[in-house]
Amino acid sequence: MKNNILPAIRLTLVCLVFFCGIYTAIIWGVAQVSSGGGKGQTITQDGKTYYSNLGQNFTSDQYFWSRPSAASYNSAGSSGSNKGPTNPDYLAEVQARIDTFLVHNPEIDLAQIPSDLVTASGSGLDPHISVQAALVQVKRIAKKRNLSETDLTNLIQNHTESPLLGFAGTEKINVLQLNLALDQLQ
């Protein structure tokens, strides 16, 4: 018994020191040298501060809409819905999102709606949409803001982020940054 308990106690003490002290200090240090100093990536505009790395809820017709959130954009409850693609509740939720999108964008066909505008991300907090998701909303926003579609398309191109290292992933757009630039455009 002594042969088992002493090594277990030593391992417990080593793990306590490492995970409660050393590991925590390393993670804290990395956070301090990252952008935002461990407090997240923020943008301040017109006296308001926004977190640019968290999804925001934009539902007004004069803004680009974000990707839906299964967590209601609450970072404390970050999660996906965990409903499978054949779950009737999930399918009804996606259909409701499609119907809402089509009501607000009557000139768009069902086949033109990108999936990221009607399905939530795994975390429920994705701040990005695809370029196609932004372009499909141009007509609605141009009409609401009395802007040219060309100006909006150029704004989208200027805010398009390239894939990591030029090949890993897809092009994407941070919706918050795009909408803040949209407000500055007028």
Q: What percent of the chain has pLDDT over 70?
A: 99
More confident: 45 or 18: 18
Find, among 31, 41, 37, the residue nearest to 174 by Cα: 41
- What's the confidence (pLDDT) of residue 140? 95
- Quote the pTM value: 0.77
Find, among 33, 71, 36, the residue nearest to 55 by Cα: 71
Distance CA 130, CA 116 (A): 7
Q: Please state the φ and ψ torsions of residue 173, each to the nearest 5 degrees.
A: -135, 130
Domain ranges of the chain: 1-39, 40-185
Q: Per-residue pLDDT tens for 113-171? A: 999 999 887 777 888 999 999 999 999 999 999 999 999 999 999 999 888 887 888 88
User: How far is residue 15 CA from its own chain's centroid?
Assistant: 35
Looking at the predicted structure, is the pLDDT value of residue 172 above 80? yes
- What's the confidence (pLDDT) of residue 21? 92
Looking at the predicted structure, is the pLDDT value of residue 39 above 80? no
Distance CA 137, CA 119 (A): 16
